[in-house]
Amino acid sequence: MRMYIIIILFLLLIVGCQTQEKTEVVVKPREQYKFQDIELEEWKKIIFTPKERYDFQSLKNPFLNPKSVVQLQKKEEFFNFELRGILTKNGKRYALLQDPLKRGYFVTEGTKFAGHYVKRIGSDYVIILAEETDVFGGKTKREIKLNLRREQGYGK
């Protein structure tokens, strides 16, 4: 039994004392690696693309109430000013606009009022540039043409 223990210790001593070759770790420069993270590139494309507008007609979500979809689709008319009159003085046109609370706005071309911009004043119309915000926070500009109403009994 002692003999076996001595032989095992001798073999461990021989195996443990052998000199091992030292290997050097060679690090290649970064340019030599041809590594491309495809998933990262796809995420960058998704993150940096501009916001998309949703087409509610193609939206198939079983959790959405059809009434709420109709409300999202409906654009409410937020511009409720009336053109009450146009005045021309020294070659410059002025327009009188009135809101539902009967407050008047005396404007010329280029005037900003109530968050809107007067683009042009014609002989019987005013073109206003209005900025709308949709339900997703996107802003769009649209032109609104207000025509002057002819009252009964005038201009005969």
Residue 103: CATH number of its domain? 2.30.30.830
147, with CB counted inside 10 A (0-12, 13-18, 19+), is exposed
Token pair, residue 109, equals: 């071309």
Tens digits of residue pLDDT in 9-30: 888 777 766 666 667 777 777 6
Where in the sequence is the domain holding 139, given as residue range(s)? 82-147
Please check whether residue 97 lies inside any domain of the structure. yes
- pLDDT of 14: 77
Phi and psi for 4 in degrees, rounded to 5?
Answer: -65, -40
Tens digits of residue pLDDT in 34-90: 677 888 888 788 777 766 665 655 656 666 666 666 666 555 556 688 899 999 999
Three-class secondary structure assignment of 49-88: CCCCCCCHHHCCCCCCCHHHHHHHHCCCCCCCCEEEEEEE
Q: What angle do CA 133, 103, 99 make, to 5 degrees?
A: 40
Please check whether residue 155 lies inside any domain of the structure. no
Tell me how many domains the chain contains.
1
Please check whether residue 103 lies inside any domain of the structure. yes
